[in-house]
Chain A
């Protein structure tokens, strides 16, 4: 194949910065022809100035694209990937920008039976977590000692909780993740739900061949957040926490008077909490003893909210399961190079990329071949510890031109309940090694680390990187030999 003249066609990847969340704009240009692809648009819940920042991002996207997206990719239903659509609803949900086509994973297809079952499970877990978080907040308001671990990070990742379902049904209330997804599907010109193993092409006048690596169909992959722990790990694990969700929902329904409380002991053994608290004049010795021992006893030994602690574990499970529904795409340039957008894929999702081969032009390739040609890696899950596989992932990315983009704000991550270790230091170190320090972060100027220490002196690389003067984004021009020459408009594979 003849080399195209350098600089003819371009492919720019704009990462919006200052977000603990993902928002990437890909701009393809060939002469006067342009195509724009937006991948996710979100910031974590509860970060000061988040909504304002997302509005600025949206305005920049409109300006950059002339108000039209050839393709919008929404990887999964987590607030830090979709909140921008809600914060800038006028742009994304109310026609401010034209979305020609929308790509989502099969998990978002309401007509897909497996997706329905999956989402029913998620919904139940989410309702249980929501109920638990609300109860914990109530208890806290009443002065009970509620460990942060019970509620920490629950809402942040899930997004605003549907706190009044009737209000939401009537179109009021806060914008939730589910409603953002629904609305996007409605306003997009067309929607594709992608399948693992599919090979397609991004729409628009110029496009990129696209390999769909995930979300997987296999439940063993979807529900696997962590590496295997040994052959009999099932012995110790209590499923996916759905039984716990049932417990919590049963309990909260009973507390709200929706169902009869499910109590194993007959009435003659029970002393209502209120009865022990108020202690009527004729209260018996048992009630008095309980009042003195528990209510008047040392506060640090009380357990009012501890039973909700299981909700924290449930939320973790829910969170990583949702991450595993991430739509993961590998875009191939005409130069034969690959851009890998891993969304928030966790272990099971990564492993599943190897479960299938990818049929293209009568050829059949494995994901290893794609990873070997990766020149840009959008680091999974803000570079957390379990969202970049080593031997079956990063170590397979061997192209000498590899660069990485990490959408992260370290200080925001550390400020989360319990402190999220993002980027995970050992991973960051390995990324620096693998890329020759060509790592762009969402929280520091291009070519520098958050402490302003220079990260790379690769002049050729730095020459292709631009920071927005206002710090809104960093843009990376892929090397022209990697981009190649865009062919004529392609179909949708």
Chain B
């Protein structure tokens, strides 16, 4: 009889579960295995934590707690058999060996890389990754079970026959394409050879990040400025890039080659090299390094860029620049120590390379965590790059007050060099970049407190993702009731939250059954984080937002805001949102920050109007597919983005 690997006993005593599951993958993509120089480290192993007892066990598919791989290839009318990750032959050899010709290896790699990406997020965020809810069938929210909880993101490794891969928010799925290479002059790909996007570490990590980000910030898909879609792209690229540095062998090899420097365009700094190569580009699809050596980046390039990937590349370059600066600071002593015993021509000592690699991976890990943690410190809608900078700085300062290695200056400096500035700050010094506590800006707001606490609000620890989901949904309802309940301080809460709560709000904001403006509490979550010096940060993150009907014509806007009967009550050209992210310190229930975008900010309304008018020029698809004006996101926002 076949031994069943899920049986943990033989005799009386249970075997201990392994700490990690190991899966073989390509460190980059199959192309790197075709050259002698890079093949040595391209066979890599990804370790992900073994399932906890309360998690769904990993089964055939692979299908686990977070992900399910379903290998249907509709363009070929074919299915491919699922991988059994628990088969003893596979358990004993870290899964299938890398192979382009075996679809089960594709399933294994797509699963492993996506899991690693999820794991990295969870470590940084201090809570579980949840997917965004299932769209209600025909708009009927009542038809959803558990408010549309989606346990698993679906991965379709062979869904498309084109040079594209995307996250589908409607299907909660990643669709990967494959295609025949059409390489240009001097490219390394085999002309006409197959290229699988599901075998590219970077593409998998990028698309998984889209899904995770959508799970945390559903409104970030809505295009309200050039920065919004660009942020999604940039963030996904940042995660994919920084994950390169978790692959020790690769990092060591590249550091040895470049004598400990990271400011060179290498395998580590390029994204999706095979994909780019096969499409006839010179090198990678995208690059993290915008300028080499000591040159200054082109100032103003960011302000002019409108295509989402291109605009996003400036944010990617800024984060990567900051990371390299931090790495250099962390490793300068090592290089100084070594300087005496080596000549500039000699290869670095392998021990030194190993130590440098350790510093690089540590710096990358820190940077990744800073970026991910910042997601709790951004406004819930209409995010700008400058606000992300402020979020990074604030999140980091909260957890690590003593910035001995001056990470925050490195970050601010890298953004400044690329002309990415937040609005309304006095300087680019880290302390001016931090979000302000609300009562600092406006002492009257000190009356806004969660004292007494909203009754029944539950901030206890949960482990199962469904329980966490249910808890969050309950808390959202409780917090919503608490907010819409009239109080004497409503005018101050309005100022704090950036939304309208009182009946005299513009008529373009829909009213609830009690005649007061509708507000949405779209997230209430508990985050716990531990800092390096034992800091324990427990926060409640509340996201509040509100809709207002927007009009291209300012006179129509004014009329509709007044409730002029000549404008139909449901008419609009676009949706305008306001709201805030409120961070509550769970130790004393004070409001640390209220990061808001006011619903009554007419300057921002004008900016969005201009963007949507101009965006039409920049994006034909907006007209044909979406009905211009952002009446709703297009059916597959990422598919279009990626199809260019």
A interface residue numbers (CB < 8 A to B)? 147-149, 152-153, 225-227, 229-230, 232-233, 235-238, 243-244, 247-248, 251, 254-255, 261-266, 269-274, 276, 285-287, 289-290, 293-294, 297, 300-307, 309-310, 312-313, 316, 320, 384-386, 414, 417-421, 424-426, 429
Contact across chains for A269 and B627 when beta carbons are under 8 A apart: no
Contact across chains for A385 and B307 when beta carbons are under 8 A apart: no
A294 to B74, CA, bound (A): 12
List, sorted by A's number, 29 A–B pairs whose CB atoms are closer than 8 Å.
A147-B635, A149-B625, A149-B635, A226-B619, A235-B285, A236-B310, A238-B163, A238-B279, A251-B161, A254-B76, A265-B102, A269-B103, A270-B78, A270-B79, A286-B82, A289-B61, A289-B82, A293-B63, A294-B79, A301-B173, A303-B159, A303-B171, A306-B168, A306-B171, A307-B160, A309-B160, A309-B636, A420-B624, A421-B627
9 further A-B contacts with Cβ under 8 Å, apart from A237-B644, A414-B627, are: A147-B636, A266-B101, A269-B102, A269-B104, A270-B80, A297-B70, A300-B171, A307-B160, A386-B623
Judge whether B436 is part of the interface by a CB distance below 8 angstroms.
no
A236 to B229, CA, bound (A): 15
Contact across chains for B168 and A229 when beta carbons are under 8 A apart: no
The number of chain B residues touching the other chain, given as a range, is 35 or more
- A147 CB contacts on chain B under 8 angstroms: 635-636
Bitwise interface map of B from 275 to 299 toward A, beta carbon under 8 Å scored 1, else 0: 0000101000110000000000000
Judge whether B613 is part of the interface by a CB distance below 8 angstroms.
yes
- A289 CB contacts on chain B under 8 angstroms: 60-61, 82
Judge whether B572 is part of the interface by a CB distance below 8 angstroms.
no
Minimum distance in angstroms from B216 CB to a CB of chain A: 21
- B304 CB contacts on chain A under 8 angstroms: 230
Judge whether B250 is part of the interface by a CB distance below 8 angstroms.
no
The 4 closest A-B pairs by CB, nearest first: A419-B627, A286-B81, A385-B616, A229-B307
Minimum distance in angstroms from A251 CB to a CB of chain B: 5
- A264 CB contacts on chain B under 8 angstroms: 100-101, 178, 194, 196
- B631 CB contacts on chain A under 8 angstroms: 419
Bitwise interface map of B from 393 to 426 toward A, beta carbon under 8 Å scored 1, else 0: 0000000000000000000000000000000000
Contact across chains for A301 and B154 when beta carbons are under 8 A apart: yes
A272 to B81, CA, bound (A): 11
- B624 CB contacts on chain A under 8 angstroms: 152-153, 316, 417-418, 420
- A233 CB contacts on chain B under 8 angstroms: 307, 310
- A226 CB contacts on chain B under 8 angstroms: 617-620
A148 to B627, CA, bound (A): 13
A272 to B164, CA, bound (A): 24
Bitwise interface map of B from 632 to 644 toward A, beta carbon under 8 Å scored 1, else 0: 0011100110011
Minimum distance in angstroms from B524 CB to a CB of chain A: 27
- B103 CB contacts on chain A under 8 angstroms: 265, 269
Contact across chains for B617 and A386 when beta carbons are under 8 A apart: yes
* B164 CB contact (under 8 Å) in A149, A225, A271, A310: A310
- B135 CB contacts on chain A under 8 angstroms: 300
A57 to B476, CA, bound (A): 61
* A230 CB contact (under 8 Å) in B82, B196, B305, B621: B305
Judge whether B629 is part of the interface by a CB distance below 8 angstroms.
yes
B148-170 interface (Cβ within 8 A of A)? 154, 156, 159-164, 168, 170
* B161 CB contact (under 8 Å) in A247, A266, A272, A273: A247
B540-571 interface (Cβ within 8 A of A)? 552-553
Minimum distance in angstroms from A195 CB to a CB of chain B: 28
Determine the residue in chain A with the shortest Cβ distance to B150.
Answer: A301
Bitwise interface map of B from 598 to 636 toward A, beta carbon under 8 Å scored 1, else 0: 000000000000000100111111011111110100111
Contact across chains for B72 and A309 when beta carbons are under 8 A apart: no
Judge whether B179 is part of the interface by a CB distance below 8 angstroms.
yes
- B627 CB contacts on chain A under 8 angstroms: 414, 418-421
Minimum distance in angstroms from B612 CB to a CB of chain A: 9
- A265 CB contacts on chain B under 8 angstroms: 80, 101-103
Determine the residue in chain A with the shortest Cβ distance to B233.
Answer: A236
A230 to B314, CA, bound (A): 13
Minimum distance in angstroms from A43 CB to a CB of chain B: 19
- B71 CB contacts on chain A under 8 angstroms: 290
Judge whether B573 is part of the interface by a CB distance below 8 angstroms.
yes
Judge whether B172 is part of the interface by a CB distance below 8 angstroms.
yes
* A271 CB contact (under 8 Å) in B81, B310, B613: B81
Given contacts A235-B281, A271-B81, A303-B159, contact A263 B628 (CB under 8 A): no
Contact across chains for A243 and B636 when beta carbons are under 8 A apart: no
* A385 CB contact (under 8 Å) in B61, B306, B617: B617
Contact across chains for B159 and A307 when beta carbons are under 8 A apart: yes
- B179 CB contacts on chain A under 8 angstroms: 243, 247
Judge whether B182 is part of the interface by a CB distance below 8 angstroms.
yes
- A230 CB contacts on chain B under 8 angstroms: 301, 304-307, 310
Given contacts A276-B79, A305-B74, A310-B643, contact A243 B163 (CB under 8 A): yes
A251 to B162, CA, bound (A): 11
Contact across chains for A290 and B281 when beta carbons are under 8 A apart: no
Determine the residue in chain B with the shortest Cβ distance to A237.
Answer: B644
- B635 CB contacts on chain A under 8 angstroms: 147-149
- B628 CB contacts on chain A under 8 angstroms: 385, 421, 424
* A251 CB contact (under 8 Å) in B75, B620, B623: B75
A425 to B631, CA, bound (A): 15
- A236 CB contacts on chain B under 8 angstroms: 307, 309-310, 644
Given contacts A251-B75, A269-B102, A424-B628, contact A244 B80 (CB under 8 A): no
- A304 CB contacts on chain B under 8 angstroms: 74
Judge whether B266 is part of the interface by a CB distance below 8 angstroms.
no
Judge whether B134 is part of the interface by a CB distance below 8 angstroms.
yes
Given contacts A265-B80, A424-B616, A426-B613, contact A307 B75 (CB under 8 A): yes
Given contacts A152-B625, A247-B179, A303-B173, contact A273 B163 (CB under 8 A): no
* A272 CB contact (under 8 Å) in B70, B78, B306, B619: B78
A426 to B172, CA, bound (A): 36
Judge whether B460 is part of the interface by a CB distance below 8 angstroms.
no
Contact across chains for A263 and B644 when beta carbons are under 8 A apart: no
- B621 CB contacts on chain A under 8 angstroms: 313, 316
Minimum distance in angstroms from B341 CB to a CB of chain A: 43
Contact across chains for A251 and B644 when beta carbons are under 8 A apart: no
A247 to B164, CA, bound (A): 12
Given contacts A269-B104, A290-B72, contact A421 B629 (CB under 8 A): yes
Bitwise interface map of B from 93 to 133 toward A, beta carbon under 8 Å scored 1, else 0: 00000001111100000000000000000000000000000
Interface core residue of A227, A254, A306 (most chain B CB under 10 Å): A306
- B301 CB contacts on chain A under 8 angstroms: 230
- B100 CB contacts on chain A under 8 angstroms: 264
- B3 CB contacts on chain A under 8 angstroms: none
- B616 CB contacts on chain A under 8 angstroms: 385-386, 421, 424
- B634 CB contacts on chain A under 8 angstroms: 149, 418
A414 to B623, CA, bound (A): 10
- A235 CB contacts on chain B under 8 angstroms: 281, 285-286, 309-310
Determine the residue in chain A with the shortest Cβ distance to B627.
Answer: A419
Judge whether B36 is part of the interface by a CB distance below 8 angstroms.
no
A137 to B380, CA, bound (A): 39
Judge whether B77 is part of the interface by a CB distance below 8 angstroms.
yes
* A320 CB contact (under 8 Å) in B75, B102, B620: B620
Judge whether B211 is part of the interface by a CB distance below 8 angstroms.
no
* B159 CB contact (under 8 Å) in A269, A276, A306, A417: A306
